[in-house]
Amino acid sequence: MAWETVIGLEVHVQLLTKSKIFSGASIRYGAEPNTQACIIDLAMPGVLPVMNKEAARMAVKFGLAVGAEINHRSIFARKNYFYPDLPKGYQISQYELPIVGKGSLTIAVNDKEKVIGITRAHLEEDAGKSLHEDFHGMTGIDLNRAGTPLLEIVSEPDMRSAQEAVAYLKKLHELVRYLEICDGNMQEGSFRCDANVSVRPKGQKEFGTRAELKNINSFRFIEKAIEYEVERQIDVIESGGQVVQETRLYDSVKDVTRSMRSKEEANDYRYFPDPDLPPMELDQSFIEAVARSLPELPDAKRRRFINDYQLSDYDAGVLTASREMAQYFETVVSESGVEAKIAANWVAGELLAYLNKDAVDIKDSPVTAGMLSGLLKRIKDNTISGKIAKDVLDAMWKGEGDADVIIDKKGLKQITDSASIEPIIDEVLANSPSQVAQYKAGQEKLFGYFVGQVMKASKGKANPAQVNQILKKKLGA
Amino acid sequence: MFHKKTIAELSGDLAKKTCSSVELTAGFLDRIEQHKDLNAYITVDRDQALTQAREADVMIQHGKATALTGIPIAQKDIFCTQGMLTTCGSKILSNFISPYDATLIARLKQAGAVVLGKTNMDEFAMGSSNETSFYGPVKNPWDTSRVPGGSSGGSAAATAARLAPAATGTDTGGSIRQPAAFCGITGLKPSYGRVSRFGMIAFASSLDQAGPMTQSAKDAAILLNAMAGFDDKDSTSSGIAVPDFTETLNHDLQGLRIGLPEEFFGEGLNSEVASVVEEAIGEYKKLGAEIVKVSLPNSHLAVPCYYVLAPAEASSNLSRYDGVRYGLRAQEYGDLIDMYQKTRAQGFGDEVKRRIMIGTYALSAGYYDAYYLKAQQLRRLIAEDFNQVFEQCDVLMGPTSPTTAFKLGDKTDDPVAMYLNDIYTISVNLAGLPGISVPAGFDSQGLPVGLQIIGKYFDEARLLNVAHRYQMVTDWHRRMPKEYA
């Protein structure tokens, strides 16, 4: 039987505010345990939450970017359950009226575009961490993370393959970083994903029973976890069993998913509106101000790069993968004065190779946009050839200085006066009598051989155009 | 005779330097010690109180005194006080030293008031007789075989027996007004949002409100002046302007329209209480007030509505007492769940457990709509009733409680009988309105009767004015229980 996969994703995006969502404590990552938990985060008797307006601003920013309805009035609710790293015994979240309503995100898989519905996005606070190691059988509690603002983005069950799920996640990841509302750091848990996965016979309208895969922290793992889970569910059904609704954890070491708790064991969270927080009212002027602050979004930027710079879809995609990358590219185009396509080749090709090789983020690149522009200028004004330029870039990457400094220090300046090039050519021709004879007998493709020999003899410094011109003249004589 | 004086009088003495704050404070500390049998206080920290008194005396010396500087005030043990035991009347917090001051405490300290001690109360403010306290019941100074009312029973008894010139209380369903009535003092529950709830241990967040418990309306005005006002740490506190409540105390009552809700004078009201209240209303007529008969048709729904909403909120508010971070943790336990269960089983008393269970049930999947949601709808109807009647009158009057103070142990086995004690006070909390209880006389057994006056939203100034004018022509509020006079 042919099966169809149905996937919906819930993504927890940690917002880049300075302080927590309901207290003034810092949310900096990696501090000593419990040093960033104030009396409110510790749920001391009598304390009260106060909403961080900045978190609301960021949520609205996201909502506007995915074309969603923004709810002018949204409500915070308490989700009640006991756990040692949940200090109040409830999590403040949004339940019936979230800040962001229906929106959508367009993804592309195998060159085909598809619109994925976003059901809602709501604000909530994170819990702390339970530490099970190093406490001699006891559990340690670190409440630094408790109260960190999260935006939970819930998709419609619109994805039909692991590839689509990953494409959606990457798109979302790119977007939240563009909006500067999340650092996107998956290792530190700033961008976490739960996947609801089910299968159904192709053509069937009703959804199958779903399993929820929890907290998967890389794009690769999400793909593998979904693929494993789909296979597992098909196996269960084909061998006569039934998929049960449950929460499953992905084990990346063994590449399997494993049951965590079933629906029967699920908590009754007893949601109700938090009486400590009045409904959050957002007026139109606030929303409009956020709209004006929106940056150019990835899709719009990509279209502009294709239209204005005549770039290929691929190059435009690479160069708009992050705001920093796009900014870098546009700086190089304007400062160097070279054709956009050449700048694109250098940024998306040469530079990106270095960045990937050393796993450096573009914003930390040792070769700045200004430095790369300086190099490209020297190609443009014929000071060096494109080939030499690659050596200069390598030296710049190693921290040897600006292009001009390196060219000067290493004597890489291109030889552009004919009087210096001619003796080199004469020597090459004199040393290759048989090739000259063959060329003259009609083997014109040997021309490249002569160019190569001349470049080699000049250590790459001879201006290739002039070499061509002089060689043609001499061989034609 | 310092203990017979009001805040207003003591403040005058301090200003004239006929006594010092240290003398006053030490005097009240001695009285507390002498009358320990009332069990009005849970914690008294003599050194800390005297240190604050010395600081107040310096403020007075430097001419920086406010009306409260140097006045010792008893604080209900529901308010967090930095460096001091704060128990909320519960075993589960019986070792909790607060690391911070509630906004109310901070404001009173700022005004120069001295924290005299922490008063006894029903556990987590759940009770109408002070019998649910882990620290044992408080006794009514008018008759020590009787309850002082609750939950602010310690504050009411302390003020009535002059173990403090005045006290603070909190009122979720009548917890300031009913003990004030039972103990013959003045107790004001301000409008919801008037006084910050930050640092006031939550029982039912949408109903809880702090207020003054005093010998007179004038003292209540002085205390409220220091307590009231917006607090950026409490999102439910109101930004509405705070007037000087002492300025309008003497306004004339000529033409004041007093609404008498028929539902407050029906079945269940003790006849002696009824006649005392009627006499008080007669006094108001003499002062020039007009009487308007009104109706609050949904008021019979207030008690059932309250006993869904308040426990629902409480069940969630009390989840934090889990033995993990502070407070009691069971001595012996197996796994995590066992630790939770034993800690909470040992740490909470019966009434608190009852309400946690009622509230948990009301919020559970499948019951939420029938209970919690329905109660929210009723709450709106009840509030709407008040909006309607306030188009016909300026204040409402009636009894604070259907009876005078009952005997200790009388109602402990019958929770519903206990709950019905708050039948006239609860709807005021549900609507978020201000209400005050004023001493209006005594029954044949010599027990005080309270007159309740209910005002429009944020109209505390009017309530205090109406209460004060009555106290200028009567002396019920100056009567004291003999043994403590």
DSSP 8-class letter at B265: G
CATH class of B2-256: alpha beta
Q: What are phi and psi of B217, to 5 degrees?
A: -65, -35
CB neighbour list of residue B180: distance below 8 Å, 6 or more residues apart:
B149, B152, B156, B169, B186, B187, B213, B400, B437, B450
Determine contact, residues A72/A283, Cβ cutoff 8 Å: yes
The pLDDT of residue B425 is 98
Q: Distances in Å between the alpha carbon of B266 and those of A186, B275, B277, B426, B444?
A: 66, 13, 13, 16, 21
B372 at A interface, C-beta within 8 A: yes
More confident site: A355 or A252: A355
At B69 the pLDDT is 98
Check if the beta carbon of residue A56 is closer than 8 Å to that of residue A149. Answer: no
Q: Enumerate the residues of chain B whose CB falls inside 8 A of the CB of residue A271.
A: 363
In 10 A of CB B464, how many CB atoms? 30
The tens digit of pLDDT for each residue in A416-447 reads 778 888 888 888 888 888 888 888 888 888 88
The 10 Å Cβ neighbour count of residue A404 is: 15
Distance CA B382, CA B266 (A): 18
CB atoms within 10 A of CB B322: 25
Over residues A275-318, the pLDDT tens digits come to: 999 999 999 999 999 999 999 999 999 999 999 999 999 999 99
Helix or strand or coil: residue A261? strand
In A, what residues contact B, Cβ < 8 A?
A: 39, 42-51, 78, 80, 82, 84, 87-90, 139, 141, 268, 270-272, 275-278
Contact A51 B235 (CB under 8 A): yes
Of A50, A139, A268, the CB nearest to B365: A268
Q: Which of A44, A270, A272 sits opposite B99 (nearest CB)?
A: A44
Judge whether residue A209 has pLDDT over 70: yes
The answer to whether residues B437 and B178 touch, using CB atoms and an 8 Å cutoff, is yes
Query: What is the ipTM metric for this complex?
Result: 0.96
- For residues A470 and B197, which has the higher predicted lDDT (pLDDT)? B197
Read off the tokens for B161. Answer: 């027996």
Please state at what angle helix A369-380 crosses helix A386-397, rounded to 10 degrees: 160
Query: Which of A21, A23, A47 is best to mutate for the B interface (most B CBs within 10 A)?
Result: A47
Q: What does the alpha-carbon distance between residue A15 and residue A359 come to, in Å, rounded to a whole number?
A: 25
Q: Specify which residues A5 forms β-bridges with.
A: A199
Question: Percent of chain A having pLDDT more than 90?
Answer: 73
Through-space distance between the first and last CA atoms of chain B, rounded to whole angstroms: 9
Give all domains of chain A, ordered by start, each with its CATH number. Answer: 3-289 (no CATH), 296-410 (no CATH), 418-476 (1.10.10.410)
- Return d(Cα B395, Cα B466) in angstroms, integer: 9
Residue A346 has pLDDT above 70, yes or no: yes
Q: Locate A173 and state its tokens.
A: 């990841």
User: Which member of A39, A78, A84 has the closest CB to residue B316?
Assistant: A78
A433: left (phi over 0), alpha (psi -120 to 50) or beta: alpha
Could you tell me if A264 and A45 are in contact, meaning their C-beta atoms sit under 8 angstroms apart? no
Option in A48, A80, A275 nearest B206 (CB): A275
> Tens digits of per-residue pLDDT, A71-125?
999 999 999 999 999 999 999 999 999 999 999 999 999 889 999 999 999 999 9
Residue A443 is predicted with a pLDDT of 86
- Which among B11, B20, B21, B76 is annotated as catalytic? B76
Q: Is B129 a catalytic residue?
A: no
Q: Closest Cα of chain A to B433: distance in Å?
A: 17
Return the bridge partners of B140, or none: B143
User: Among B247, B369, B355, B251, which residue's Cα sits nearest to residue B306?
Assistant: B355
In degrees, rounded to 5, the angle at the alpha carbon of residue B148 between the alpha carbons of residues B145 and B153 is 140
Q: Is there a catalytic annotation at residue B175?
A: yes
Q: Which of A50, A84, A89 sits opposite B235 (nearest CB)?
A: A50
Report the candidate in A43, A336, A20 with the shortest Cα–Cα distance to residue A150.
Answer: A20
Angle in degrees, CA B340, A213, A184, rounded to 5: 95
Q: Does A46 contact B199 at a Cβ distance shorter than 8 Å?
A: yes
B313 touches chain A (CB under 8 A): yes
Q: Is B233 designated active site?
A: no
Give dist(CA A436, CA A444) in Å, integer. Answer: 10
Mean pLDDT of chain A: 92
Residue boundaries of the structural domains of chain B: 2-256
Distance from CA of B201 to the nearest CA of A (A): 4
Residues B63 and B38 sit within 8 Å (Cβ to Cβ):
no
Tokens of A476: 């034609």
- Choosing from B175, B237, B401, B427, which is the catalytic residue? B175
Tokens of B145: 């075989």
Whether A47 and B199 lie within 8 Å, measured CB to CB: yes
Neighbours of B387 (CB within 10 A): 12
Q: Are strands B435-442 and B72-76 parallel, antiparallel or unpaired?
A: unpaired
Per-residue model confidence (pLDDT) at position B201: 98
Query: Tokens 């030490």 correspond to what residue?
Result: B26
Which of B128, B151, B196, B216 is catalytic? The answer is: B151
Amino acid identity of residue B16, one-letter, is K
Looking at per-residue pLDDT, the higher value among A201 and A457 belongs to A201
Which residues of chain A lie closer than 8 angstroms to B204, CB-CB?
275
* Average pLDDT score over chain B: 97
Q: What is the arithmetic mean of pLDDT over A249-273?
A: 85
- B262 and chain A in contact, CB less than 8 A: no
Interface test with A, best of B75, B203, B324 (most A CBs within 10 A): B324
The residue with tokens 């009486």 is A275
Secondary structure, 3-state, A163-177: HHHHHHHHHHHHHHH
Look up residue B306 and give its two tokens: 């309250």
Q: pLDDT tier at A213 (50, 70, 90 boundaries)?
A: very high
Residue A132's pLDDT is what?
A: 84
Strand B395-399 with B257-261, pairing: parallel
Which string of b and e fits B56-76 if b means at least 16 CB within 10 Å? Answer: bbebbeeeebbbbbbbbbbbb
d(CA B264, CA A100): 47
**Cα dist. A344→A1, A351, A463, B478 in Å?**
47, 10, 23, 90
Q: Which residues of B touch A277 (CB under 8 A)?
A: 235-236
Q: Is B102 part of the contact surface with chain A (CB cutoff 8 Å)?
A: yes
Give me the long-range contacts of A137-140 (CB less than 8 A, separation at least 24).
A139/A84, A139/B336, A140/A33
